Structure 1
């Protein structure tokens, strides 16, 4: 704690020397006065003599007035900071500061905590603290502060920052962030070219990203640089890493820790009455459930102290293994309950659940009460039951309870006793109970269970097929046991044969039957207890294809108001027939979905099922149209869509609309694929694809979007709907274009154009020529591209679509750029941007227009303007969650930086672009970035790594038969001859 007057002060030295009182910045005076304050602050409250201060500020040749000047500085600092902030102590001075008032002290504390966390095996938390520590640096430490002391401390703190940065980068790699780290490491290795630790981290990051040739190139560049600059060879760490990369040492790529399965042997010793030992025998092949076993065991153990009765209630769907888990845990806890263990099957899932009065009679007999002494009536029996258990330590396992009412009278009243309950319903109204929701097994646990039943010898050679089996079982223990038992009893079957039988969803539930065990029978018990409105919702919701469904979508499908639907769905969650993955979102277990669909086919007419899906699709289309309108003002696409009946969700702001679009993306695309087979729903299905095309452009959902588009094409072709087929083919062509498959894109665009003419679809008269122009542009057919864009421009103008007109003008700008007409290209891009500005909104299409203008300005040599436009585009693309456009914009910024003579910055941006474009955008775009990265690396002296980039780019271009392959071949040949200009 500091003294009065300093408590509200904060100081910074990790950047310019600054001070604040509260949130108000203080004027600290001239540079030499800052040097005095900096020296005082770096002493951390310890005394510094006047002579030391003079040396710190003026060095070996102080002026005669140094001491007087020093006293003046001290006076001025007291005036600014407060009289008590600077104390005069024994011929010197000392700062009075609160703990944590200096940014350096905070940074040191964070770094020390991070080091402890890393040593204790918490790398993720350590990395967060290091990031926080590094954020404390606001530029060069003691920036602009004169004097020898400030200079030496500046060097020390800069070196320390670099060390912290290396630690953080090591943790990035340790936690799997190698792809993202390459960009930063590339920039740092250019800034600190002889720092071997950074080079080693860069090599490792590249190698883990599958870029072995570049990793080896880094070592070659480093060896040459160290030899030329310092006359030394790389150190042992870098040399050893180089050898391990050469040998492709598998230890360089860490593997995740194995899952440890926990098993327990049964303790079947019987205890004589009146110490009941009623627990069923545990299963011999109990597997996994480690966390649940520990959680429940800890709860049961809490009763041993005799302070409170422990009650745990395990809930989950039928077949999830509630009883198996509870019996296993109960046996393991027997030693804590030496006075006995009671068990009853309450048959809560069946039509005739056990009566509590009858159960109490059985419990009383087990506890030694003769029949003649057992009273009549529920309350009397419950009272005697509690009396008998007073002072005793007994465990009661109440299996398959229907609800809380059924078990309340069966709870002991005595501390030291414990109750373990299993039920399909969550007993949220059972006071004091510890609730456990048991989910399906993890894939590793499921595979371990399957293997234990079938035998490792049979599963060992068919691991992939075994994983397919347990996945088809939805990782549900009951289903796995049935499937494994069938295989174990059929010695001629292979695991692959069983997997093929379970692959057919229509037959899967029938296949999951063995003797008296059947998954369907388990589900029927729960379904039979539902009220009519619950059963209808359970059946109809299963018709939707997405991984889950929102409350609003469920209300549309069921044709009910959201409040009623929420009540129904929450009741289904409480009975474990539905799961609530997040507030307002619901999903089925895979096998329950199949069962619910089979009930829908039995109990709902085809018309009712079709109407339900039509309502869902209508809701999605209406809401997606609202989202599209917010993102694309001025676009007349919505005027060409199938009319909707549902009002949809209207959004108050763009962020909410994007949240909905990207959250619902899997459901939207699955619904399109599912409903496309119904000719009545075909047109709204393809129109839904049109208004969610941002999902395809983002790259995040490119594959599922393409699959949905193909499903529509196939269905439209079968029924001869030229309009639907044209629209879907145009979207498929656009998808091919985004992935760099230009031949396929051109073919789909050509067919879309012809079908659009047949269907007299004005929308395709605009879209198809524009897409034909884009594919021609990418294939270097510039005259064809210009002709197609001119046709599209006229079509958009005829349709009154100003946004489409602006997009085509941007495309025309790129054609002119490719023809060497930079001035004309800038003019076209500026015209497009003017239209975007008139339309209004920071939309994705505005970002595209800025992107095109940035490219044109780059070629025109107007670098600062190009950077400004591309930076503006980058902010828009990030806000629109368009990772593909974000990555390409970062790449274009790299190109500007390279032509502007900033190769190190260009290399860092190119690496960042590669990271953003990982798994999206196709090989052609990756090759583009690698080519530019190679040029940047060459200019910062990393020629060997540059060659690795060009070799990879050449292979990618060659794989997609891109026209740039000849250019790369020539570049590599020039590099071999040493003719590449540095």
Structure 2
């Protein structure tokens, strides 16, 4: 259930509110009573305030849709929208037109109309809409989609597209093992592809499933098809015709539109252009743009590709591989799409991935093409799609670093510099509003972590609300608990992108990611991370490096790790949901123990006297005083951040110990300001202590 106005997704509200909207829409403008709406949302067990709740949901929807869209009449409600803007009704109209075309004998038109109808599907129908009415509709729509797929696949076989049909039917029969019509189509597609034994194996498999699970034999249609295949019935074979030739005159231009307000990244655009269009290369150029979700990889790739169009006169091909979705585009399917775009007729497209890859490389001979492979999963995902001809180039985007892709040139993306971030915000919001509140605008992009996706989402929301102020938006972004929710619009947002990455993690990496987000500070060392995770350094590195490879963590230097501010917020939210308070407290306690124990060793024998060593951690060993001071210098900011965090909690005495360990740093003046700031925090937290003198700075 999504609501769009002028191409922008609007919030549809709570689950029950979406269920109410679902009921109104599927009644196609007819009146729906309050009792019918209550039954649709809650069934036989409505809450005591169901009537009042229903009216509240209607009121909220009116604010979103407009009073003339959702109207009251005859004691109920109805919705008034142009029905050609509702995807479901558009699909129903297309399916009706397809049936008429098939009856009239125009099978190509019928096939095209059904394909267009199926293209309107986007995931599960009515996903996350609760209530018995939505559940019944979900079942109905799933069944209807399968019927459309079966009709289109039947038309595909009539048109001779056996190879592609085999691939699609194999997936569908695995998902719906008891559906006999899909098995029948798969047997026919295999037989027409010259794979008689595999076609008969499909029949044996469905018979085994039906007899084993239901105690029945396959239906008469399947049984007759099996017998016809055994007899090699000529009626099953489609008349052969000479396949049309490969067209070499096609110049595909598939790049998506460039982002009109693309901002900054001039150095990266220049670097990609120099690499991809380098005339001295004797091999196909490959560049990979990597970075965390929302950092602008796709926008940069498309912008750079447009800048390079004139350098690749034979065309530009683009595909979204959806590598981080649950159903990515596999290499064989991508190769099939590329071959057709390059002028290879369907009849000449082989069935297997290896054969398609070989034909793909042959089709590129003496051509100069640019390929953009967006959102790759890993190196194996794109390796079969790489050209073999010098003069062609491939630009890949991925959250993974793809370090095992031989010869690839890597471009890592971080958040925008503050000036460019502010420039992007200004282009979307307008100069007048930013000029009126420049400090609030800078606060806003800072709260976005300078992440282009986050900036674009909040700026677009502000631009759509002329009565909002920039300072009001900045205040909402500073509100800690729901800050991530501000960077979400419909199915697009930072949280959605991080959800996809997090769900692919194994249990060990997921735990490490959650606990890592608990620690404050700009970064932490491998040894500190090991203490936080309760692992040895080698085990910690094995767990953390995959998180770096998938851009959930960053490593600017060997043995040091940090994460983006918004990623940290997400990790903490996950930790609060999946880890107990004791587990979270224990992780932070281990980190504090590490710093205390190591500081105690660093100051052993100093005039301050040794600090008490925590029992929970032995700390690092230092061969000499210089090494100890170097450690204190390199760890000053993480150490002070840990002190702030400990002082903010109950019983800040251990934070005071940590401050004492660090106070020599204040003597050099390099970190005096930070030390004094944390000392003030601890002092404020310990005003009731009987001995406040313990907080006095030397010479202060």
TM category, shorter: 0.5 to 0.7
Paired with 1:417 and 1:473, the residues of 2 have a C-alpha distance of 38
Task: Please say if 1:363 is aligned against 2:326.
Answer: no
Partner of 1:291: 267
**Is residue 273–residue 366 contact of structure 1 (8 Å, CA) maintained in 2?**
no
Partner of 1:686: 656
Partner of 1:588: 563
Q: Per the alignment, in what secondary structure is the counterpart of residue 676 of structure 2? A: helix
Task: Please say if 1:734 is aligned against 2:681.
Answer: no
Partner of 1:545: 520
Partner of 1:225: none
Paired with 1:306 and 1:535, the residues of 2 have a C-alpha distance of 41
1:831-850 aligned at under 5 Å gives the runs none
Under a length normalisation based on structure 2, what TM-score does the superposition of the two structures give?
0.63
Partner of 1:710: 680
Structure 2 vs 1, CA of residues 597 and 272 (structure 1 numbering), >3 Å: closer, same or farther? farther
Partner of 1:644: 615
Paired with 1:306 and 1:613, the residues of 2 have a C-alpha distance of 51
Task: Please say if 1:427 is aligned against 2:402.
Answer: yes
Structure with the largest fraction of helix: 1
* Match for residue 418 of structure 1 among 393, 415, 418: 393
Q: Per the alignment, in what secondary structure is the counterpart of residue 697 of structure 2? A: helix
Partner of 1:927: none
Could you list the runs of 5+ residues in structure 2 that have no partner in the other structure?
A: 1-246
Tell me by how many angstroms 1:642 deviates.
Answer: 6.3
Partner of 1:574: 549
Q: Per the alignment, in what secondary structure is the counterpart of residue 311 of structure 1? A: strand
Could you list the runs of 5+ residues in structure 1 that have no partner in the other structure?
A: 1-270, 739-982
Q: Per the alignment, in what secondary structure is the counterpart of residue 274 of structure 1? A: coil
**Is residue 305–residue 416 contact of structure 1 (8 Å, CA) maintained in 2?**
no
Tell me by how many angstroms 1:305 deviates.
Answer: 5.7
Task: Please say if 1:523 is aligned against 2:493.
Answer: no
Q: Which has the larger radius of gyration?
A: 1
**Is residue 642–residue 684 contact of structure 1 (8 Å, CA) maintained in 2?**
no
Paired with 1:433 and 1:574, the residues of 2 have a C-alpha distance of 15
Tell me by how many angstroms 1:272 deviates.
Answer: 11
* Match for residue 449 of structure 1 among 421, 424, 427: 424
Tell me by how many angstroms 1:587 deviates.
Answer: 0.3
**Is residue 351–residue 529 contact of structure 1 (8 Å, CA) maintained in 2?**
no
**Is residue 620–residue 688 contact of structure 1 (8 Å, CA) maintained in 2?**
yes
Partner of 1:398: 373
Task: Please say if 1:337 is aligned against 2:312.
Answer: yes
Task: Please say if 1:656 is aligned against 2:627.
Answer: yes
Task: Please say if 1:697 is aligned against 2:660.
Answer: no
Paired with 1:613 and 1:573, the residues of 2 have a C-alpha distance of 21
Tell me by how many angstroms 1:688 deviates.
Answer: 1.2
Paired with 2:650 and 2:414, the residues of 1 have a C-alpha distance of 39
1:47-196 aligned at under 5 Å gives the runs none
Paired with 2:299 and 2:590, the residues of 1 have a C-alpha distance of 42
Tell me by how many angstroms 1:525 deviates.
Answer: 1.2
Any idea what the Cα deviations from partners look like across 1:691-743, whole Å, max 9, x if unmatched?
221122222222222222232233334xx5x26xx35x542x427x54xxxxx
Root mean square deviation, CA, Å: 1.8
Task: Please say if 1:278 is aligned against 2:254.
Answer: yes
Task: Please say if 1:617 is aligned against 2:592.
Answer: yes
Task: Please say if 1:671 is aligned against 2:642.
Answer: yes
Tell me by how many angstroms 1:376 deviates.
Answer: 0.7
Tell me by how many angstroms 1:273 deviates.
Answer: 6.8
Structure 2 vs 1, CA of residues 620 and 305 (structure 1 numbering), >3 Å: closer, same or farther? closer
Q: Per the alignment, in what secondary structure is the counterpart of residue 286 of structure 2? A: strand
Partner of 1:154: none
Paired with 2:254 and 2:280, the residues of 1 have a C-alpha distance of 23
Tell me by how many angstroms 1:664 deviates.
Answer: 0.8
Structure 2 vs 1, CA of residues 562 and 643 (structure 1 numbering), >3 Å: closer, same or farther? closer
Paired with 1:522 and 1:417, the residues of 2 have a C-alpha distance of 31
Tell me by how many angstroms 1:580 deviates.
Answer: 0.4
Paired with 1:691 and 1:310, the residues of 2 have a C-alpha distance of 53
Tell me by how many angstroms 1:609 deviates.
Answer: 0.2
Paired with 1:565 and 1:592, the residues of 2 have a C-alpha distance of 19
* Match for residue 303 of structure 2 among 328, 332, 343: 328
Q: Per the alignment, in what secondary structure is the counterpart of residue 734 of structure 1? A: coil
Partner of 1:382: 357
Paired with 2:449 and 2:419, the residues of 1 have a C-alpha distance of 13
1:178-327 aligned at under 5 Å gives the runs 274-302=250-278, 304=279, 307-327=282-302
Tell me by how many angstroms 1:526 deviates.
Answer: 1.0
* Match for residue 462 of structure 1 among 434, 437, 443: 437
Q: Per the alignment, in what secondary structure is the counterpart of residue 457 of structure 1? A: helix
Paired with 2:635 and 2:672, the residues of 1 have a C-alpha distance of 15
**Is residue 621–residue 644 contact of structure 1 (8 Å, CA) maintained in 2?**
no
Q: How many residues align?
A: 454
Paired with 1:475 and 1:569, the residues of 2 have a C-alpha distance of 24
Any idea what the Cα deviations from partners look like across 1:7-40, whole Å, max 9, x if unmatched?
xxxxxxxxxxxxxxxxxxxxxxxxxxxxxxxxxx
